[in-house]
């Protein structure tokens, strides 16, 4: 390897380090997490095309395409709407940069979620809320929750 | 052939040095960072985070075939105006668990044909040199040193 190549490699290493030290890089890292997750979700059965997703959202297909292209700075509201159209939600995990993060979807601990559409059509007063006084030590034990 | 190892975790991402000894992908990335910073960020995330950890994106907006089953492209996109798009692409090919990047270019409408030929030439050179055991890898480990 010539010294010029070694120098170039060193420069590129520094260039990548510098990119990774900037907030813009991590913004796109987050956008990519979302768009990649949406792409995977859309491919799961029943497969949903970009056009069908646009219909579910009531927007033009180009709007969906633009949002999932990675070229747009998505708001949390937009992400929640897009995921919500497929009956999904955005879960967030924050960890040190460079950490290998693996998500596990555990159906054993899943709970039923009433979709927004169903909430709108049901009676809001049908639920029962029980108020329990907080223990003096402020610690809620499992026993107290169950009782 | 000289190759620079951008990352090597579950998958390796490598970029080639051409026969003149310069790395077109590196040079283009540097220019893109000045001209369209968001495109450089997007591509940086693909090269250094997404592909090494998760493999190639299963998303046609981020990855696609460029020429037959031989050359593929990594994709980044920026809206220069609300309706005007500018693409930034890196041509690449596979060798087992390694993704070898050959050249980078802007794409506005159609892929410049010379970029496809360049990628095909570099791919042929890579497999020829691999057969001849003439691949020289310059690796990068954060906090470590490259070797020659």
Q: Taking CB atoms and an 8 Å limit, are B148 and A6 in contact across chains?
A: yes
Tell me the sheet residues that pair with A92.
Answer: none
- Work out the angle at residue B13's Cα, subtended by the Cα atoms of residues B32 and B39, and round it to the nearest 5 degrees: 20
Helix (H, G, I), strand (E, B) or coil at B108: coil
**Which residues are CB-neighbours of B8 under 8 A, at least 6 positions away?**
B52, B139
Q: Give the highest mean pLDDT range of A111-115, A133-137, A142-146, B83-87.
A: B83-87
Q: What is the spatial distance between Cα B91 and Cα A65, in angstroms, rounded to a whole number?
A: 22
pLDDT in tens, A47-99: 999 999 999 999 999 999 999 998 888 999 999 999 999 999 999 999 998 88
Instruction: Answer yes or no: pTM beyond 0.90.
Output: no
Query: What are the angstrom distances between the C-alpha of A41 and each of A76, A108, B9?
Result: 18, 20, 25
| B108 touches A at CB < 8 Å | no
Give percent of chain A with pLDDT exceeding 90.
50
Q: What is the spatial distance between Cα B91 and Cα A37, in angstroms, rounded to a whole number?
A: 24
As given in the structure block, the two tokens for residue A68 are 């999932």
- Work out the angle at residue A50's Cα, subtended by the Cα atoms of residues B93 and B68, and round it to the nearest 5 degrees: 25
Q: What is the spatial distance between Cα A92 and Cα A34, in angstroms, rounded to a whole number?
A: 10
Q: Taking CB atoms and an 8 Å limit, are A20 and B44 in contact across chains?
A: yes
Sort B94 into a burial class: Cβ within 10 Å, 0-12 / 13-18 / 19+: middle
Q: Which residues of A touch B136 (CB under 8 A)?
A: 1
| B21 touches A at CB < 8 Å | yes
- Band of the pLDDT at A133, cuts 50, 70, 90? low
Helix (H, G, I), strand (E, B) or coil at B94: strand
């Amino acid at each position: 390897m010539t010294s010029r190549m070694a120098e170039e490699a060193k420069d590129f290493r520094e260039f990548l380090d510098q990119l990774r030290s900037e907030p813009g890089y991590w913004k796109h890292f987050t956008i990519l997490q979302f768009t990649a997750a949406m792409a995977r979700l859309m491919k799961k059965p029943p497969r949903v095309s970009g056009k069908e997703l646009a219909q579910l959202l009531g927007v033009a297909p180009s709007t969906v395409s633009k949002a999932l292209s990675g070229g747009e700075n998505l708001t949390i509201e937009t992400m929640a709407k897009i995921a919500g159209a497929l009956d999904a939600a955005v879960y967030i995990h924050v960890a040190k940069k460079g950490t290998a993060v693996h998500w596990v979807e555990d159906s054993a601990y899943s709970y039923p979620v009433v979709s927004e559409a169903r909430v709108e059509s049901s009676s809001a007063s049908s639920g029962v809320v029980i108020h329990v006084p907080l223990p003096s030590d402020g610690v809620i034990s499992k026993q107290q929750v169950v009782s | 052939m000289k190759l620079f190892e951008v990352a090597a975790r579950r998958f390796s991402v490598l970029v080639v040095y051409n026969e003149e000894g310069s790395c077109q992908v590196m040079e283009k990335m540097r220019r893109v960072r000045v001209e369209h910073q968001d495109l450089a960020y997007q591509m940086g995330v693909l090269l250094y985070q997404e592909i090494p950890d998760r493999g190639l994106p299963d998303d046609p907006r981020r990855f696609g075939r460029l020429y037959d089953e031989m050359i593929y492209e990594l994709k980044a996109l920026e809206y220069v105006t609300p309706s005007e798009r500018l693409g930034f692409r890196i041509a690449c090919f596979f060798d087992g668990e390694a993704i070898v990047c050959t050249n980078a270019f802007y794409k506005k409408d159609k892929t410049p044909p010379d970029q496809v030929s360049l990628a095909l030439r570099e791919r042929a050179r890579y497999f020829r040199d691999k057969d001849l055991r003439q691949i020289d890898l310059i690796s990068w480990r954060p906090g470590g040193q490259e070797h020659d």
